Amino acid sequence: MNYSPREYANASVREFLASRDWSAQTPARQRILVAFLSLATAKGFNSVTMRTLGRELDMKAPSLYSSFPGGKDEIVAESLSWFTHRFARDLLRVAEATSSPEEYWAALVRFHLAQQLERPEADLWDLLVATDRVARFLGKDVRQEVVAWMKLHEDMYRAAAQDMGFRLSRKDIHVIFTLLDGAGRWADWDGSAADLELILDHAVALTRSILEVDNGAQALV
């Protein structure tokens, strides 16, 4: 049986998700992760300490350390991993509901952009990953997990492009991800569902034009 590039990409994401079992994550740990992401997004990563986190949760330091013995560093690493897996899981669910490469591409773009606009912690994820490239503060396992997911995410776009008859270059990927990750600076969303739909549709058209123009230029060479 022949599988499409999209099916291979989806299978790789499922394998990535299966590599980490979150079923044992306790409610207390999840509550701490949610509070950390919320505080770090609202006030800045460096402003969050175990003390401020404890005040936010009305918890004493020993309770925080009983859940995360490694303190803030462990919470940061777990938050990154948790956000990564939730993003991958939810994106895969959206992608698997499509029936054509064009719908698949649109689903990838719409989900990516909606996350950037509706979930401020997505910007925090981008910031922490970028900071680690310089400061190298993440553990090896978390860094490898993040790098693996970034490649899988890009591969989903490449698979959609291939199924549509296009080649998606590394430059195209960089341009498209820069456009989507920076949505907060250009989308000018008014907060309404109707305006969000218009922005998402516009983003799909923009990313398709990047793909089509670059492939058209290659065909003329």
pLDDT of residue 221 exceeding 60, the answer is no
pLDDT of residue 176 exceeding 60, the answer is yes
| pLDDT tens sequence across 46-97 | 888 999 999 999 998 888 999 999 998 899 889 889 999 999 999 999 999 9
Q: What is the dihedral of CA 119, 123, 128, 131, to 10 degrees?
A: 180
The whole-number pLDDT of residue 16 equals 96
The answer to whether the beta carbons of residues 146 and 129 sit under 8 Å apart is yes
Q: What percent of the chain has pLDDT over 70?
A: 96
Model confidence at 218, pLDDT cuts 50, 70, 90, reads very low
pLDDT of residue 220 exceeding 80, the answer is no
Quick one: which of 201, 202, 153 has its CA closest to 173?
153
Q: Which two tokens stand for residue 215?
A: 């492939």
Task: Please indicate whether residue 34 or residue 97 has the higher confidence score (pLDDT).
Answer: 97
State mean pLDDT over 202-218: 83
The answer to whether the beta carbons of residues 173 and 158 sit under 8 Å apart is yes
Q: Which two tokens stand for residue 172?
A: 């195209």
pLDDT of residue 129 exceeding 70, the answer is yes
Model confidence at 216, pLDDT cuts 50, 70, 90, reads low
Q: How far is CA 55 from CA 11, 32, 35, 39, 81, in A?
A: 42, 11, 10, 11, 24
pTM of the model: 0.89
The whole-number pLDDT of residue 138 equals 84
